[in-house]
């Protein structure tokens, strides 16, 4: 402040001022509190319970016992790592397949279709209105022995085929189908952020279509790619219905393992320990990915060192 500036006359309500300055902070806190409470009691508290339960002796139902590492020993002694790998593998596969399928579609929706984009958006969003399990059973009817596909082939072309269900590709197909919107919409938004003139400038400076894609579209739409991939990965790594309904007993995912510990085996501490381990693992994978791709840097908001 300039010392020579005339002092403003003392405010009559000077005592009120701090209260008025406090008000926005207080209001902010107040408006955040419903969500805060919900997160506290609906997410943080149960999560802490689960983590703590993982240290209780096996096959007990009380949180008030001496902690033990026995559950974790069991996990590493047995073959749970297989289920973990299956879950990570299926999720990773789903992400990759979805990236390949969705990128061109998203590109068309963001840059080529005009009114058509809204129609595609509605069409895809509508599929979310139907319960996932119902949609998956629809696939079962389609792919089972003498189902829609097999039956049609048999009737029209006299081709006898076995059930198409219960294998890894069909599980991935189901996951790809269920999680498609979660990849597509972030990609569309990401691609919409690529300015048309920047693409044209690259083209004008001699770049081929492929080079424009590699050097302009892809890096500038990276935020969408990243958000879509993370969403799909996190959702599909905990997926359970696809493997169960379409995969039968062929593949046991970690989510299925956890479910059976809590229900069939009645071993809550072991179930909790697997959950804890798996949450930790997913978190590490996600943060690793986030660290690799710095969103701010991609958007050009931060100096690249």
Partner 1 sequence: MESSSPATPILEVATVTKRFGGFTAVDDVSFRIQEGEFFTLVGPSGSGKTTLLRMLVGMEKPTSGELRLRGRVINDLPPNQRPTCMVFQSLALFPHLSVGRNVEFPLEIRGQRSGERRTRAWELLKLLHLDPNRYYDKNIAQCSGGERQRVALARALAYDPEILFFDEPLSALDARLRKTLQKELKDLQRGTGKTFCYVTHSLEEAMVMSDRVAILRSGLIEQIGRPDEIYSSPKNAFVAEFMGEVNLLPVVGTGDATATWDTGRKTLALALPAPLPAGAAKKLLIRPESLRFLRADETAGNTLPVRILNQFSLGSRLQYHVEVAPGCTLTVERLREERVTGDTALLGWDLGDSQLLDA
Binding site for partner 1 (CB under 8 A): 195, 197-198, 200-208, 211, 215-216, 219-220, 297-304
Minimum gap (Å) between residue 298 Cβ and partner 1 = 6
38 near 32, Cβ under 8 Å?
A: no
- The count of C-alpha atoms lying within 13 angstroms of the C-alpha of 293, restricted to the half-sphere facing its C-beta, is 19
CA–CA distance, 196 with 141 (Å, rounded to integer): 45
Minimum gap (Å) between residue 112 Cβ and partner 1 = 16
**Residue number with CB closer to partner 1 (18 or 303):** 303
**Residue number with CB closer to partner 1 (125 or 201):** 201
Minimum gap (Å) between residue 187 Cβ and partner 1 = 17
Q: Which residue has the tokens 């809204």?
A: 118
**Residue number with CB closer to partner 1 (158 or 196):** 196
Residues 6+ apart with CB under 8 A from 229: 95, 99, 183, 289
Minimum gap (Å) between residue 208 Cβ and partner 1 = 6
Minimum gap (Å) between residue 189 Cβ and partner 1 = 17
Task: Give the pair of three-digit tokens for residue 57.
Answer: 């002796």
Minimum gap (Å) between residue 217 Cβ and partner 1 = 11
Phi, psi of 172 (to 5 degrees): -60, -40
Q: Which residue has the tokens 């300039």?
A: 2
**Residue number with CB closer to partner 1 (2 or 304):** 304
Task: Give the pair of three-digit tokens for residue 136.
Answer: 């998956």
**Residue number with CB closer to partner 1 (92 or 219):** 219
Gap between the terminal Cα atoms of the chain = 36
**Residue number with CB closer to partner 1 (155 or 201):** 201
- 293, 299, 300, 302: CA torsion to nearest 10: -60
């Amino acid at each position: 402040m300039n010392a020579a500036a005339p002092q403003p006359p003392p405010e009559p309500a000077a005592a009120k001022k701090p209260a008025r300055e406090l008000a926005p902070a207080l209001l902010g806190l107040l408006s955040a509190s419903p969500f805060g409470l919900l997160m506290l009691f609906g997410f943080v508290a149960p999560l802490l319970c689960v983590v703590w339960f993982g240290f209780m002796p096996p096959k007990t139902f009380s949180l008030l016992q001496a902690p033990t590492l026995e559950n974790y020993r069991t996990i590493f002694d047995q073959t749970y790592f297989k289920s973990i790998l299956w879950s990570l593998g299926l999720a990773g596969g789903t992400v990759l397949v979805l990236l390949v399928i969705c990128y061109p579609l998203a590109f068309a929706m963001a840059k080529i279709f005009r009114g058509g984009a809204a129609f595609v958006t509605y069409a895809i969003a509508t599929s979310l209105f139907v319960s996932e399990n119902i949609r998956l059973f629809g696939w079962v009817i389609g792919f089972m022995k003498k189902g829609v596909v097999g039956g049609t082939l048999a009737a029209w072309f006299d081709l006898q085929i076995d059930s198409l269900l219960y294998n890894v590709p069909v599980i991935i197909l189901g996951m790809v189908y269920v999680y498609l919107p979660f990849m597509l919409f972030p990609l569309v938004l990401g691609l919409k952020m690529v300015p048309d003139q920047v693409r044209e400038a690259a083209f004008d400076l001699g770049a081929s279509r492929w080079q424009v894609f590699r050097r302009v579209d892809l890096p500038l739409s990276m935020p969408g790619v990243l958000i879509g991939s993370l969403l799909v990965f996190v959702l599909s790594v905990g997926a359970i219905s696809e493997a169960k309904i379409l995969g039968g007993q062929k593949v046991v995912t970690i989510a299925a393992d956890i479910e059976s510990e809590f229900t069939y085996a009645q071993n809550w501490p072991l179930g909790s320990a697997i959950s804890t381990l798996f949450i930790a693992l997913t978190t590490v994978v996600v943060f690793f990915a986030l660290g690799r791709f710095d969103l701010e840097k991609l958007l050009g908001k931060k100096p690249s060192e």
